[in-house]
Amino acid sequence: MSEIKTINTSKAPAVFGPFSQGVKTESLVFTTGQLPIDPATGKIVSDDVQEQTRQVLLNIKAILEEAGCSLDRILKATVFLTSMDDFTKVNEVYAGFFSDKPPARSCVEVSGLALGAKVEIEAIALLP
Q: Name every residue whose Cβ is closer than 8 Å to that of residue 72 and which is 6 or more positions away in sequence.
A: 98, 100, 101
pLDDT (0 to 100) of residue 63: 98
User: Can you give the residue range of the structural domain that contains 50?
Assistant: 5-126
* C-alpha to C-alpha distance for 14 and 47, rounded to whole angstroms: 20
CA 4 to chain centre: 20
69-125 pLDDT tens trace? 999 999 999 999 999 999 999 999 999 999 789 999 999 999 999 999 999 999 999
CA 37/CA 18 separation, integer angstroms: 18
How confident is the model at residue 20, as a pLDDT?
Answer: 95
Q: What is the DSSP letter of 114?
A: G
Contact of 22 with 29, CB cutoff 8 Å: yes
Whole-model pTM: value is 0.96
Across the range 32-61, mean pLDDT stands at: 98
| pLDDT of the residue at 1 | 58
Output the domain CATH number for residue 84: 3.30.1330.40
Q: What total of structural domains would you count in the chain?
A: 1
